[in-house]
Amino acid sequence: MKAFIFDLDGVITDSAEYHYLAWKALGEDLGIPFDREFNETLKGVSRTESLERILSLGGREQDFSLEEKEQLATKKNEHYVSLISKITSEDILPGIEVFLQELKRAGYKIGMASASKNAYMVTKQLGLLDAFDHIVDAATVAESKPHPEVFLKAAMALGVEPKECVGVEDAVAGVEAIHAAGMFAVGIGDPAVLTEADLVFTDTTGLTLDNVLARI
């Protein structure tokens, strides 16, 4: 292994919770309430596809024009951006900074593969821009997870082969994307949800080089 490629939301910081709260509020405005279980199907999925999934949950996929859907997605994003406007390095998930330092010391390349158009802003607010050798975000890819494009682009930018990469993800769609890219998949979250991952830690404190390498 030569590189580790991380998802952002729900792996580096708990922004997955803010995506959930913002989508949930929009869903309630539209008369489409949903729970955390349905939210699992939105994790790692692009903004427009997430909206489509919520509308189809409520049987309302035909009720809005393209322009109205864009307005709904913008409304969610404005709410999300206001929720995350106050995040700082204090919001980096436990163990992540130490793990990133451990990887750097050991000579691994470190990349980010995020489905979010807010990835740079969030990483900057966390004070972690320098921790990553390369960041690929949603603005620079055509296909969204579970398509492997974002992970493949990150590997290419880091100058490594996909099979030399470990991907780290909290989303089912993200684990699928890592595997489709031909990488080793580490899941962060509930093992009963992330059943396809090669290795699952219930939270980020389990992430150490020894713990991961022992399983490869």
State yes or no: is 137 an active-site residue: no
Spatial contact of 167 and 174, defined as CB atoms under 8 Å apart? yes
* CA–CA dist 57, 33 (Å, integer): 9
Judged by CB under 6 A, the residue of 138, 157, 193, 209 near ligand BG6 is: 138
Q: Output the smallest distance, CB 81 to ligand BG6, in A.
A: 8
Is residue 179 within the footprint of ligand BG6 (CB under 6 A)?
no
In one letter, which amino acid is 14? D
Is residue 116 within the footprint of ligand BG6 (CB under 6 A)?
yes
The 153-172 site mask, x for binding Mg ion (CB under 5 A), equals -----------------xx-
C-beta closer to ligand BG6: residue 9 or 176: 9
Q: Output the smallest distance, CB 9 to ligand BG6, in A.
A: 4
In one letter, which amino acid is 39? N
Is residue 208 within the footprint of ligand BG6 (CB under 6 A)?
no
C-beta closer to ligand BG6: residue 106 or 139: 139
* CA–CA dist 180, 90 (Å, integer): 33
C-beta closer to Mg ion: residue 18 or 184: 18
Judged by CB under 6 A, the residue of 17, 117, 120, 193 near ligand BG6 is: 117
Judged by CB under 6 A, the residue of 24, 26, 43, 168 near ligand BG6 is: 43
Judged by CB under 6 A, the residue of 46, 123, 125, 204 near ligand BG6 is: 46
Residue 198, binding choice from Mg ion, ligand BG6, none, Cβ under 5 to 8 Å by partner class: none
Joined together, the tokens standing for residue 191 give 């093992």
Is residue 50 within the footprint of ligand BG6 (CB under 6 A)?
yes
- Provide the terminal-to-terminal Cα distance of the chain, rounded to the nearest Å: 9
Of residues 170-189, which lie at the interface with Mg ion (CB under 5 A)?
170-171
Give contact residues for ligand BG6 (rule: CB under 6 A). 8-9, 16, 19, 42-47, 50, 77, 114-118, 138, 171
